[in-house]
Amino acid sequence: MHEGNMFIRRGRGLMTTENRDFVILVDEDDNPSGSCEKLRAHELGLLHRAFSIFIFNNKQELLLQKRHADKYHSAGLWSNTCCSHPRPGESTETASLRRLREETGIDCPVTEAFVFHYRARLEGSDLVENEIDHVFKGYYEGPVSYDNEEIEEVKWIGRDDLLRDLRENPGNYTIWFKIIIDKVLAYMESLPVRGNG
């Protein structure tokens, strides 16, 4: 148990925006080229814009989420704090802050760390992730009030414990998390250590 951190399950908030299930299609330079229904984009492997968020506490521990068993892909697997797609007409940073609040109840500033392209077939399905992924990082201390229809469980984990579990139990993690984690940890190592204040 981490002193000062609470994990609270809560029901899903209302999401009524009509284009919530559409993604922004992009070219290889991340220029928008249209939009597509999210599942269809993954079925066809169309290149689209996405974001991944990594939230750390002052102990440099990373907040992980376990995806709900009812998710249409990568169900029941551990992954980074939050990841999703901006809606058509929505900036990536605005989308990242919105989705972070919706999934985890966390409201904190985030900073874009880097952008990269990856393409991978999702294990056990015909879906393909083909994304220009904007990676955001942020720092947070406080309760995590997560949406229990999106997330089964959350936990803070240190670098060494995370790397050990990734080696011993790689099948417990999402494919994109395994692709990106080395880049994120290398980036974090270049940053100054934060104080506890």
The catalytic residues are 83, 131
Which structure tokens are listed for 158?
A: 């240190």
CB atoms < 10 A from the CB of 21, how many?
14
Distance of alpha carbon 5 from alpha carbon 19, whole angstroms: 34
CB atoms < 10 A from the CB of 34, how many?
12
Distance of alpha carbon 2 from alpha carbon 156, whole angstroms: 8
Which structure tokens are listed for 182?
A: 């080395």
Residue the block writes with tokens 């989308």: 95
At position 185, the amino acid (one-letter code) is L
Distance of alpha carbon 101 from alpha carbon 7, whole angstroms: 14
Q: Report whether 76 contacts 152 (CB < 8 A).
A: yes
Distance of alpha carbon 91 from alpha carbon 146, whole angstroms: 23
Please provide the DSSP assignment of 109-123 as one string: --EEEEEEEEEEEPT
At position 89, the amino acid (one-letter code) is G
